[in-house]
Amino acid sequence: MKCQEPLSDPSVDLCRACGTRERWFDLAISLGPYEGAWGELVRALKFDVEPAVARFLSSRMADYLLNQEPLGDIDVITYVPMTRRALRQRGFNQARLIAQGLGRRIHRPVARLLRKVHETSPQSRLSARERRRNLRGAFRSIRSIHGKVLLVDDIFTTGSTVEECAHALKNGGCEEVFVLTVARA
Ligand SMILES: [Zn+2]
């Protein structure tokens, strides 16, 4: 109900993570699973600097939001930021590219609302608990904003990155934070 984690028991509607503690985001949805085509697109976006991939992904997100209307009306779109150093190394922020394309397509402003304060170790080998600890305090709100915010990123794994971002956004005054990612790992 809250993060799209597939559940084997049809009688429950929240996964373990959402059921045992409060999530800072209100709802997290993804276009599709990381295995297969969506994961390939995410990898192409991150490593090949292919603008056509970002355009394609933002148009799919826009189609999804406009046709299914899972989130209702959104006031502003933002994205998961990178540290200045990581941004220099890669040269672009893939989440920002998707967010900007999406904003143009659904006619909503895209704003930089968060700053990544310090670099975190790569998340892929960490447990869910370690991921949360690794990211604690990593993001700060840089602009106070009210209303409904859509936070865009490429992958949702345990949700700890978007959760930290949602926490910072709510500290900054956002009333609701929805998360839209390309792929769900
Ligand atoms: Zn969940």
Residue of 172, 180, 171 lying closest to 153 (CA atoms): 180
Other C-beta atoms closer than 10 Å to the C-beta of 14 total: 14
Q: What is the pLDDT of residues 119-134, one digit of tens each?
A: 887 777 788 888 888 8
pLDDT of residue 48: 67
Query: Any idea how long the chain is?
Result: 185
Residue range 164-174: average pLDDT? 95
Distance from Cα 157 to the centre of ligand 1, integer Å: 11
Distance from Cα 71 to the centre of ligand 1, integer Å: 17
Residue of 112, 103, 108, 107 lying closest to 78 (CA atoms): 112
Distance from Cα 1 to the centre of ligand 1, integer Å: 7
Looking at the predicted structure, is the pLDDT value of residue 109 above 90?
yes
Predicted TM-score (pTM) of this structure: 0.93
Q: What is the pLDDT of residues 33-86, one digit of tens each?
A: 999 999 999 999 887 667 889 999 999 999 999 998 888 889 999 999 999 999
pLDDT of residue 130: 86
Distance from Cα 158 to the centre of ligand 1, integer Å: 9
- What kind of architecture, by CATH, is found in domain 32-121+136-184? 3-Layer(aba) Sandwich (3.40)
Distance from Cα 17 to the centre of ligand 1, integer Å: 5
Q: Are 101 and 57 in contact (CB under 8 A)?
A: yes
Distance from Cα 27 to the centre of ligand 1, integer Å: 9
Structure tokens at 175: 């009333």
Cα–Cα distance for residue pair 117/139, rounded to 1 Å: 6
Distance from Cα 90 to the centre of ligand 1, integer Å: 31
| Domain map (residue ranges) of the chain | 32-121+136-184
